[in-house]
Amino acid sequence: MASRRAALFLCSVPLLFLSQSMTESAQNGGGAKRRLRPNVLVTGTPGTGKTTMSSLLADATAMRHFNIGDLVREKGLHDGWDDELDCHVINEDMVCDELEDSMEEGGNIVDYHGCEFFPERWFDLVVVLQTDNSVLHDRLTSRGYMGAKLTNNIECEIFQVLLEEARESYASEIVMPLQSNNVEDISRNVATLTEWINNWRPPVQSN
Ligand code: DAT
């Protein structure tokens, strides 16, 4: 597991039906403070379409989109550059501090190829995008990935590392795997998640 997780750092860089229990469970998984809109984490191996889908979803729902990779670069939320892994050494505490106020408020889509260091209380739904190996291989090759970096990311997807990480880090009821192989998948996923977000209500708090 450790080697699979480490491999992820090299990549710096049909759901038409939601059960009532999933929706309720997700709504009740909120944090201590009552937020009026949900927070959604979109995770998955690099190249599965997190940023593409999150951007469209943010447009459709008027939610904020945080691309963590961009945020780390723009705000310097890292401890330098790792030449061997070819990525910034992300400072997880700084990232969490940066996001805390927005997450408390709600209405955020967070897009990152990892999920275990965020506070569990932040998220009402955790989407894990998944892509067939051959499709992902072509996308990552187009992005210039090669050698170990390419292989490690493909292996991450084969071994479903992000899905496993999501299920270990969050209540299984709020973890939603979605296929992302083609543009029809993007449209369907955006429609499904838009409906979920628009139907979301804050959990009723007991006295
Ligand atoms: P990620 O943010 O997971 O690294 P991305 O959104 O940057 O991925 O997408 C990588 C490339 O693949 C980009 O050129 C858009 C394309 N892509 C993403 N999802 C797709 C899908 N479901 N169908 C076709 N192309 C897709």
Q: How far apart are CA 108 and CA 36, in angstroms?
A: 11
Q: Is 155 exposed, middle or buried (0-12, 13-18, 19+ CB in 10 A)?
A: middle
Q: What share of the chain is helix, strand, coil (3-state, %, to 5)?
A: 50, 15, 30
Residue 51: how many other CB atoms lie within 10 Å:
17
Token pair for 83? 């030449």
Atom of ligand 1 nearest to the CA of 180: 22
Concatenated DSSP letters of 182-194: SHHHHHHHHHHHH
Token pair for 109? 């889509």
Token pair for 124? 């009402």
List Cβ neighbours of 82 (8 Å cut-off, separation of 6 or more): 9, 88, 89
Q: Which of 177, 159, 157 is nearest to 167 (CA)?
A: 177
Write down the pLDDT at residue 134.
97
Q: Are strands 108-111 and 39-43 parallel, antiparallel or unpaired?
A: parallel
Q: Which residue has the tokens 């209500």?
A: 201
Tens digits of residue pLDDT in 124-159: 999 999 999 999 999 999 999 999 889 999 999 999
Concatenated DSSP letters of 38-49: -EEEEE-STTSS
The answer to whether the CB of 53 falls within 8 A of the CB of 42 is: yes
What is the number of helices (H) and of strands (E) in the chain?
9, 7
Q: How far is CA 76 from the centre of its chain?
A: 21
- 49 Cβ inside 6 Å of ligand 1: yes
Q: If you measure from the C-alpha of residue 134 to the centroid of ligand 1, how many angstroms do you get, rounded to a whole number? A: 14
- 44 Cβ inside 6 Å of ligand 1: yes
Q: If you measure from the C-alpha of residue 70 to the centroid of ligand 1, how many angstroms do you get, rounded to a whole number? A: 16
Token pair for 74? 């723009």
Q: How far apart are CA 21 and CA 73, in angstroms?
A: 39
**DSSP letter, residue 174:** G
In this prediction the pTM is: 0.87
In the sheet with 108-111, reading across from the earlier edge strand, the strands are 64-67, 108-111, 39-43, 125-130, 175-179
- The parts of the chain modelled with pLDDT lower than 50 are 1-31
- 131 Cβ inside 6 Å of ligand 1: no
Write down the pLDDT at residue 5.
47
Distance between start and end Cα atoms, the chain: 42
